[in-house]
Amino acid sequence: GDSVTQMEGPVTLSEEAFLTINCTYTATGYPSLFWYVQYPGEGLQLLLKATKADDKGSNKGFEATYRKETTSFHLEKGSVQVSDSAVYFCALSANSGGSNYKLTFGKGTLLTVNP
């Protein structure tokens, strides 16, 4: 079945440091890939997405590139801020029959950014 494996946390960085959170996936067919973010006390929010190989998703300074050859979708940010502290989830969407698309999530990575 489909699965997502992401870097285990927690990750602790100082403000303005470079961030990478690794994500790899296993899926049949050609999934779409996503990063969701969950700020403390809030629901999940879509951070960025890529729907085909070599696409780059970007939002709020975060980027991730869909790499089909390595089945990866690593999240990066050049300079993190305290406000980026949250849990980050990598996810994939694959067709599970007919027009039904099913999201499969990784376990999440807790990021803490210190001033």
Q: Where along the sequence are the contacts to another protein (CB under 8 A)? A: 4, 32, 34, 41-46, 49, 51, 89, 91, 93, 96, 99-108
| Min separation Cβ 76 and another protein, Å | 20
The residue (of 30 and 101) whose beta carbon lies closer to another protein is: 101
The residue (of 26 and 45) whose beta carbon lies closer to another protein is: 45
| Min separation Cβ 24 and another protein, Å | 14
The residue (of 18 and 101) whose beta carbon lies closer to another protein is: 101
| Min separation Cβ 47 and another protein, Å | 11
Alpha-carbon span 54 to 62, nearest angstrom: 16
Count of alpha carbons within 13 angstroms of residue 34, beta-carbon side? 17
* 51, 32 Cβ separation under 8 angstroms: yes
DSSP one-letter code for 72: B
What are the Cα distances from residue 76, in Å, to 35, 42, 65, 92?
11, 22, 9, 18
The residue (of 17 and 112) whose beta carbon lies closer to another protein is: 112
CA-based nearest residue to 88, from 76, 102, 101: 76
| Min separation Cβ 73 and another protein, Å | 13
